[in-house]
């Protein structure tokens, strides 16, 4: 797994450093200036994430495969006295170390890079507030997960992975329900769309798509960024389309209509449920592999040492990196489906294309990234691939 990860990381670094020229088609929609600044911004972001991952991975390999991780494990068992406490102590120390390693990179890409390129509308103080809130949430949820996991591996050493799989799958469903209601409001305000034009637009598209109108919410994204976006969340009866206020402020009506139609495409194709089922299958495969590895690597005599947590962390970091292209391939497939439906619902391919061009210009998206980078890291097809798909449905008008 380390070998595969290093190959992917090496290729990612190579294509970040030498991205080559964008596809010639990009010049039909973008100026040389657009293309150059999008590339520069993308290269800086990619470089930060690649270096961050390299540092984190190097540390985890050294810590887990060397003696430090086992030494700390013995120390925690001695100091804590009680088993559960020793697990929590070990988890907490590793959590803090990883936070410290990642913090400068998060701060740079989440704040300074955004300021430098004129996207951020945040103060440094409010960035820190966000960071602390999300770190606290992560700490509490992860600690709970660790306790449950150690309980399961010790209690059912032969079959814990099946229990863990059922539990994680259930958690994914709960999270999909609860995240938009409980967690997102900690970071942003959401208001029902009041603009009669938007409401009429949603109703028209929803009728055409044959789905009941539910909630269209406007999120105050402008408190952090000038970038525009929209997304779709919820499951069962709670289905919501969330539009960034930046989208409504900076984009013309026909493009907003194309965004809503795209989100309805996700809705109509049941992408949330499909995504959940596929994630659940992916987790099962990961856990089956992990279970096999653990039997070979870690000695079990009644209870696992805290060290198991370092081993699992390294495993999940590697496994999720390797699974990236599979996950992203599937995500891009769904995005293409939603784009196709947006053309069908709006009956206006030109505004769908115009939206892509405007989004890329304003968000400085690399419209035509190196193919490896798109294959490995892009959850959405690149701008030029999205435009080409729409053009195939209908040839561009002159
Ligand atoms: Zn989408």
3-state SS track over the chain: CHHHHHHHHHHHHHHHHCCCCCCCCHHHHCCHHHHHHHHHHHHHHHHHHHHHHHHHHHHHHHHHHCCHHHHHHHHHHHHHCCHHHHHHHHHHHHHHHHHHHHHHHHHHHHHHHHHHCCCECCCHHHHHHHHHHHHHHHHHHHHHHHHHHHHHHHHCCCCHHHHHHHHHHHHHHHHHHHHHHHHHHHHCCEEECCCHHHHHHHHHHHHHHCCCCCEEEEECHHHCECCCCEEEEEECCEEEEEEEHHHHHHCCHHHHHHHHHHHHHHHHCCHHHHHHHHHHHHHHHHHHHHHHHHHHHCCCCCCCCCCHHHHHHHHHHHHHHHHHHHHHHHHHHHHHHHHHHHHHHHCCHHHHHHHHHHHHHHHCCCCCCCHHHHHHHCCCCCHHHHHHHHHHHCCCCC
Q: Is residue 228 part of a domain?
A: no
The sheet that has 238-244: what strands, in order across it? Answer: 190-192, 215-219, 238-244, 230-235
CA of 338 to the centre of ligand 1 (A): 6
Q: Is residue 65 part of a domain?
A: yes
Q: Considering only residues 390 and 212, tell me which one the structure prediction assigns the higher pLDDT.
A: 390
For residue 393, the model assigns a pLDDT of: 86
Going by pLDDT thresholds of 50, 70 and 90, the confidence category of residue 398 is very low
Q: Is residue 255 part of a domain?
A: no
Q: Is residue 167 part of a domain?
A: yes
Q: What is the pLDDT of residues 110-125, one digit of tens each?
A: 999 999 998 988 999 9
299 is in an annotated binding site: no
Provide the percentage of residues in the chain whose pLDDT is more than 70. 97
pLDDT of 397 over the 60 cut: no
CA of 321 to the centre of ligand 1 (A): 22
Domain count, the chain: 1
For residue 241, the model assigns a pLDDT of: 85
Burial of 349 (0-12, 13-18, 19+ CB in 10 A): buried
Q: What is the pLDDT of residues 250-290, one digit of tens each?
A: 999 999 999 999 988 998 898 988 999 999 999 999 999 99
Q: Is residue 311 part of a domain?
A: yes
Q: Give the Å distances, CA to CA, from 152 to 167, 170, 205, 286, 355.
A: 11, 16, 48, 17, 49
For residue 161, the model assigns a pLDDT of: 94
254: annotated active-site residue: no
Q: Is residue 373 part of a domain?
A: yes
Q: Is residue 229 part of a domain?
A: no
Q: Is residue 221 part of a domain?
A: no
Catalytic residue among 255, 263, 366, 374: 263
How many whole angstroms separate alpha carbon 182 and alpha carbon 208? 32
CA of 109 to the centre of ligand 1 (A): 23
Q: What is the pLDDT of residues 122-135, one digit of tens each?
A: 999 999 999 999 99
Going by pLDDT thresholds of 50, 70 and 90, the confidence category of residue 179 is confident
Domain hosting residue 316, numbered range: 2-190+268-297+307-393
Catalytic residue among 339, 347, 358, 374: 339
77 is in an annotated binding site: no
Helices 308-346 & 253-268 angle (0-180, nearest 10): 120
pLDDT of 325 over the 70 cut: yes
Instruction: Evaluate whether 364 touches 117 at the Cβ level (below 8 Å).
Output: yes
339: annotated active-site residue: yes
CA of 231 to the centre of ligand 1 (A): 7
CA of 371 to the centre of ligand 1 (A): 20
Q: What is the pLDDT of residues 38-88, one digit of tens each?
A: 999 999 999 999 999 999 999 999 999 999 999 999 999 999 989 999 999
């Amino acid at each position: 797994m380390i070998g595969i990860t290093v190959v992917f990381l090496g290729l990612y670094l190579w294509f970040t450093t030498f991205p080559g020229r964008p596809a010639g088609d990009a010049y039909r929609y973008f100026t040389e200036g657009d293309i150059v600044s999008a590339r520069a911004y993308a290269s800086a972001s990619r470089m930060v994430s690649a270096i961050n991952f390299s540092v984190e991975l190097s540390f985890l390999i050294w810590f887990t495969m060397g003696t430090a991780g086992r030494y700390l494990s013995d120390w925690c068992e001695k100091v804590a006295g009680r088993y559960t406490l020793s697990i929590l102590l070990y988890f907490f120390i590793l959590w803090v170390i990883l936070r410290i390693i990642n913090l400068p990179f998060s701060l740079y890409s989440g704040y300074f890079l955004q300021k430098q390129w004129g996207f951020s509308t945040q103060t440094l103080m409010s960035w820190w507030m966000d960071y602390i809130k999300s770190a606290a949430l992560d700490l509490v949820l992860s600690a709970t997960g660790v306790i449950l996991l150690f309980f399961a591996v010790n209690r059912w050493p032969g079959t814990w992975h099946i229990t863990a799989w059922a539990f994680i799958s259930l958690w994914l469903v709960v999270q999909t329900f609860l995240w938009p209601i409980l967690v997102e409001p900690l970071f942003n305000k959401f208001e029902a769309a009041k603009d009669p034009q938007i409401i009429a637009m949603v109703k028209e598209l929803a009728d055409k798509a044959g789905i009941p109108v539910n909630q269209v919410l406007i999120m105050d994204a402008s408190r952090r960024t000038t970038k525009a976006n929209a997304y779709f969340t919820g499951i069962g009866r709670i289905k919501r389309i969330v539009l960034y206020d930046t989208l409504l402020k900076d984009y013309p009506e026909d493009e907003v209509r194309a965004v809503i139609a795209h989100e309805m495409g996700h809705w109509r194709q049941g992408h949330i449920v499909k995504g959940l089922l596929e994630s659940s299958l992916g987790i099962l495969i990961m856990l089956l592999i992990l279970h096999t590895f653990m039997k070979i690597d870690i000695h079990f005599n009644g209870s696992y040492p805290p060290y198991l947590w370092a081993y699992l962390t390294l495993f999940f970091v590697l496994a999720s990196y390797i699974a990236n292209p599979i996950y992203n391939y599937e995500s891009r497939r769904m995005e293409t489906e939603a784009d196709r439906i947006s053309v069908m619902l709006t009956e206006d391919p030109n505004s769908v294309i115009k939206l892509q061009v405007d989004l890329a210009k304003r968000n400085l998206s690399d419209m035509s990234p190196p193919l490896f980078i798109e294959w490995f890291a892009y959850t959405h097809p690149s701008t030029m691939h999205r435009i080409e798909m729409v053009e195939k449905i209908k040839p561009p008008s002159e």
